[in-house]
Amino acid sequence: MEVFHQAWTVIRDDFFDPNYNGVNWQEVRDRFEPVVRGAMTRDDLIELLSLMMGELNASHTGAFGGGGSNNDAFLGVHFDRDVLEEEGYLRISEIIPQGPMALAENPPKVGDYIVEIDGVKIERGVRLEELLYRKAGRRVFVKINDNPSLDGAREIVVQPANYGRMKNLEYRYWVRRNAEYVHRKSDGRLGYVHIRAMDYPSYMQFLVDLDVETHAKEGVIVDVRYNGGGHIASFILDVLLRRGYALSKFRDRAIYWSTNLAGNRILDKPVILVHNEHSGSNAEMFTEGFRRLNLGKTVGTPTAGAVIWTWNVTLIDGTRVRIPRFQIWSTSGESLEGRSREADFWVEREFGETAKGVDSQLDVAIEKLLEQIDEVKKEV
């Protein structure tokens, strides 16, 4: 019970709103205390603490404890879902660049079948995750064929990736496909940059991608979909706000604009922002800043409405709780907590778009940004 009482007290003393969002915090304690007394495991306690904090109807709350290591391993391929569900075979539909299969000697190609792993034949009912359990980084023998038969199959050696590495590889593959989509749909006129999170590594990647994606382009789409937040929104806004201010040249050479002195980090090009309901916290502050500073229009669905600064507090048993401790307002006095940032152009993706190779939010962003660019050209 000491852990429960400590969690309740920390929230009582540090929660950003002294009125607890209109909740009687003492009454919440009285209601949850007898239930917590019946908790049989630490997981039960953590779940009850999270439910208790949920009574506050605030974002950035919850309890969590230390977890074990992730023992899953991955080959770095996607499978044809129809073939898998209808026939039970693992037919490769995509190979993730720099993934385990892509790096194998004599790798498979799209359309090949995985027919055996470490001596176990692949057939209906065989679970791939069980065959790869705890095998990240180890040598795994995989048989590949251009048909779902062992006859004529060839064997390759693969070192599966762990969850963290595979997550990063999948993310960069997704970004690359989005960039290629924008290039193709805009006839090469627009660049595309995704910001994964509002943290320093993502900021550094943003600078690299911005240089690449704005070179010889007329404008750029900045995407913060699925960005859960962080703390560096102002860093990125600073980059997007920079404007050219000088010219330079060598003797008998062409005149250069000041962007050439700082990579492409003095943008001076039209920008449009894409966000969705999974854009949260500092990504929403970025969205608010983008609009307030008139950097461009926004496309997508309303953001999560979860904007508040939070701290983790470690309790006496090692359980950690998240405590929202101070609030964020817009310059017009509107609290951003519980209030989504709306899009200028509301576009909700339809179910099945990804499987069809369609992204309606990017489509509208491309359309609106090209319209803006073409309109400026007419005026000139």
Q: Residue 69 is encoded by which pair of tokens?
A: 């290591």
pLDDT given at position 302? 97
DSSP H helices, the chain, are: 2-14, 25-37, 42-54, 81-87, 100-103, 128-131, 163-185, 200-214, 233-241, 282-292, 353-356, 360-379
Q: How confident is the model over 232-252, as a mean pLDDT?
A: 87
User: What is the Cα–Cα distance from 172 to 306, expressed in whole angstroms?
Assistant: 26
Q: What is the DSSP string of 90-135?
A: EEEEEE-TTSHHHHSSS---TT-EEEEETTEEP-TT--HHHHTTT-
CB 23 within 8 A of CB 11: no
pLDDT confidence band for 114 (50 / 70 / 90)? very high
User: Could you tell me what percent of the chain has a pLDDT over 70?
Assistant: 96
Q: How confident is the model over 250-277, as a mean pLDDT?
A: 79
pLDDT tens by residue, 277-334: 999 999 999 999 999 999 999 999 999 999 988 888 999 888 889 999 888 888 888 8
The DSSP output letter for 261 is G
- pTM, rounded to two decimals: 0.86
Count Cβ atoms below 10 Å from residue 237 Cβ, excluding itself.
17
Helix axes 233-241, 200-214, angle to 10 degrees: 20
pLDDT tens by residue, 319-373: 889 999 888 888 888 888 889 999 999 999 999 999 899 999 999 999 999 999 9
The DSSP output letter for 151 is T
Q: Is the dihedral of CA 67, 65, 163, 120 positive or negative?
A: positive
Position 176: which residue type?
Answer: R
Going along the chain from its start, the domains and CATH numbers come out as 2-64 (3.30.750), 77-161 (2.30.42.10), 186-305+340-379 (3.90.226.10)
Distances (CA, A) of 142 to 90, 156, 265, 342: 12, 5, 46, 49
Burial (CB count <10 Å: 0-12, 13-18, 19+), residue 249: exposed
Task: Provide the β-strand partners of residue 320.
Answer: 64, 314
Instruction: Choose the weakest-confidence range: 3-7, 130-134, 257-261, 288-292.
Output: 257-261
